[in-house]
A and B are shown apart, each in its own frame.
Chain A
Amino acid sequence: MATETAVDVVMPQMGVSVSEGTITRWLKQEGEQVESDEPLLEISTDKVDTEVPSPASGTLTQILVQEGETVDVGTKLGQIGGAAAETPAPAAEPEPQAPAAEEPEPAAPTPTAAPEPSAAPPPASGPAPSGNGKAFVSPVVARIAGEHGIDPSQVPGTGTGGRVTKKDILAFVESSGAQQQQPPQAEPEAPTPPAPAPPAQAQPEAPPTPPKPKPAAPAPVAAGETLPGETVEPMTAMRRGIAEHMRRSLDTAAHVTSAIEVDFSRIVAVREQLKKDYQAAYGINPTYLAFVAKASVETLRDYPYVNAEMRGDSIVTHNFVNLGIAVELAEGKGLIVPVLRNAEGLNLLGLARGIAEIAAKARNKQLVPDDVQGGTFTITNPGGYGTFHGTPVISQPQSAILGTYALVKRPWVVEDELGQDVIAIRPLMNITLTYDHRLVDGALAGRFLRDLRGRLEGWEGDGE
């Protein structure tokens, strides 16, 4: 078993913006056989939950990262084949074989070709702690030590084999010993206010304190503390990912939003016609979103900066459109942006079908990492609930995001055939373009929206 070539299992790169992943479940245990490409473990990143296939056939000899732990992309998670984890590391012995080397100078024990010690080398020296020696820290002692920032090894132990008992550490906390230690480590958990501000909690009523430059902001509640009426739930990997991405996007791009009103009369008429045909022939619903997507993709051809990204000191444009579609997961569970690749090659039917497919995949958690990577432009449709305007956040590293809103009938001034102004009832949609003003100028955005409106109002694509 120890003779197989070792193959590392690493945290895969799940998307350009994804830097870490959480192990949700190992599907194999140490010592179990696994086939190449057989699902080995399940991971959760800020965008997708997925299975990781085994990179090789063999025995899962080591699990280095346990379930529930979050690690960076590329971190070694385990090992297929090679030496089993339980193989006693040779270093545990007081190096009996070291002198065996013929080198004349024993002073420098260069472990040139020494067998690779397993990932976690055993304690360098001293006998391995057996039984309940001082090295063992019980859960309650570990907790108290953590709360008070105490190193348990500094506490005199009275338990079996010198173990530090709960009583020992409580006595240590009560005695001055604790104060000698460095400031409690637990404190930084409380969100620290910006540097110059005084420590948050210290001053409810402390009149003798000299007046601070600013009155202390209301003390933030320390992490882990719950006030009456509050409910605390852990954040999912997806929510953490969304939070990080939203913040990073706003910190990166100069967000500006422009809006335009589009008369959808023609689209509504065309769609009425197409709906029956598409439903009957393909089982596909030509949604307004599909029309907007088609017009956007065409318009992007004339505005490469709207379909671009800033990469370091360069501006990178694309001769393709990988169209991201924001999809809300059930019950506010999060938002995911699956990508429809090469949307520039799709007609209205293809777009409608593609959008329906990726949305279904997203809702059924069937997306694979490639489905959420590589977007160049995104459309979000928050109008489903009737909103008529919004300022979406750009999906980094793209340069713009288009928002579509509720289609409503409004009184609208149009020209009749005699050139007279008349008020007509027209179905109107507000469409916004939120763009990164570092790259896209306001006038450019305006022209983009104008052209988009032109394409939609004078629809000449499919169905005409």
Chain B
Amino acid sequence: MAELTYLQAISDGLRTEMRRDKRVFLIGEDVGVYGGAFKVSLGFQEEFGPWRVIDAPLAEAAIVGGCTGAAIMGLRPVAEMQFADFISCAWDQLVTVAAKQRWRAGTPVPMVVRLPSGGGFSGGPFHSQNPESSFAHIPGLKCVCPATPEDAKGLLISAIEDPNPVLYFEHKHLYRRIKGEVPEERYTTPIGKARIHRQGDDVSVITWGAMVYTADEAAQQLDSDGVSVEIVDLRTVMPWDKAAVLESVRKTSKVLVLHEDTRSGGFGGEIAATIAEEAFEDLDAPVKRLAAPDTPVPFSPVLEKAYIPQVEDVAAGLRELAEY
């Protein structure tokens, strides 16, 4: 096992699949000669050639539309949006064509769209969003949001293998900050299975992506107060691991649903509603949500810090639940 950064783990997963399966190709803005805006595909064009690592024009609709066609014809395209925010240009191709194709015509669309997402580095409103709930709402699309290097590799391979369009949200703030042991061989991480990031008895946090680490730091603070926090890392938002969430809720009876996306219509609402419906008699406190406010992501570092849930916010929320 090697210790890799989150970003290296994504590269590793992509390289593994491109070496193994000639149908897999990468397309996106600057993914070739430049190696990608974040250098995920650095050296890929040299290894796989310009026909499998394709520099695309600034045309997200064309990238996703082309990938959809290629997938229908039997290839396994991986598209990179330079920033997840830009996927709105490709909404129609993704939502109207790719997501519906399987139901409409029975043809699988084995396509992955990589989406560098999330804030925390003053990227402002166009380079910091977490749009997973918009796509989780579209039947036919899968959404995965790995938090660890090991899951980043395993989920990318699962996403490429999957016969459906999969949106792969890779959190930019984790790229070089997070390191972890990653098996060198090929492996998959199942889509739809959560991971218990931290075992605890008193309060559960349901979260994913970069918030796993925010929750972890908050949990450490509460540990010293004698409150034991369990962290469920969903890993995939659609499909999501309801059973794992409900099991944790039944154990602790107090839940904080945490995400970096905005609050109203964020995926946390779906989780909270499901808990209220299916685990009502196990609740010892109202289900609490912690999320970004309903505004665009601000540029100002001070405002951005106020916007994205911070360790202190999560710790305060957890304390409130613990004391309830």
Contacts and interface: CB of A to CB of B under 8 A. Distances in A.
A166 interface: yes
Interface stretch (A83-91, A140-148, A269-277, A405-413): A140-148
11 contacts: A132-B324, A138-B283, A138-B284, A139-B282, A139-B284, A140-B281, A140-B284, A142-B281, A159-B323, A160-B324, A165-B284
A163 interface: yes
Nearest to B249: A140
A138 B253 CA distance: 10
Contacts of A165: 284, 324
- Give the interface SS of chain B, mostly helix, strand, loop or mixed: loop
B89 interface: no
B285 interface: yes
B21 to A, nearest CB: 43
B89 to A, nearest CB: 43
A160 B323 contact: yes
Closest 9 CB pairs of A and B: A166-B284, A143-B281, A140-B284, A138-B284, A166-B253, A139-B281, A140-B253, A139-B283, A140-B282
Contacts of A160: 323-324
B86 to A, nearest CB: 44
A163 B253 contact: no
Contacts of B299: none
Interface in B277-301: 280-285
Interface string A132-165: 1000001111110000000000000001100101
Interface string B256-283: 0000000000000000000000001111
B137 to A, nearest CB: 28
Interface in A166-223: 166
Contacts of B283: 138-140
Given A138-B285, A140-B281, 6 more contacts: A138-B283, A139-B280, A139-B281, A140-B282, A141-B284, A166-B253
Q: Which of B283, B284, B324 has the most CB of A within 10 A?
A: B284
Interface in B211-249: none
Nearest to A166: B284
A58 B285 CA distance: 39
A142 B283 CA distance: 10
A188 to B, nearest CB: 20
Contacts, number: 28
Contacts of A163: 324
Interface of B: 253, 280-285, 323-324
Interface size class of A (residues with CB under 8 A): 10 to 19
B281 to A, nearest CB: 4
B321 to A, nearest CB: 11
B104 to A, nearest CB: 32
Contacts of B253: 138, 140, 166
A132 B253 CA distance: 17
A158 to B, nearest CB: 9
Contacts of A138: 253, 283-285
A159 B321 CA distance: 10
A124 B253 CA distance: 33
A138 to B, nearest CB: 5
Contacts of B284: 138-141, 165-166
Contacts of A139: 280-284
A169 to B, nearest CB: 9
A267 B284 CA distance: 72
Contacts of B281: 139-140, 142-143
B277 to A, nearest CB: 12
Contacts of B280: 139
A160 B284 CA distance: 12
Nearest to B320: A160
Contacts of B324: 132, 159-160, 163, 165
A160 B282 CA distance: 18
A210 B68 CA distance: 77
A197 to B, nearest CB: 32
Contacts of B285: 138
A456 to B, nearest CB: 58
B6 to A, nearest CB: 37
B60 to A, nearest CB: 46
B111 to A, nearest CB: 40
A309 to B, nearest CB: 47
A141 B283 CA distance: 8
Contacts of A141: 284
A160 B323 CA distance: 6
B302 to A, nearest CB: 33
A94 B186 CA distance: 75
A40 B174 CA distance: 57
B275 to A, nearest CB: 11
A163 B281 CA distance: 17
A219 B89 CA distance: 66
A442 B324 CA distance: 73
A96 to B, nearest CB: 35
A279 to B, nearest CB: 46
A159 B282 CA distance: 16
A139 B250 CA distance: 12
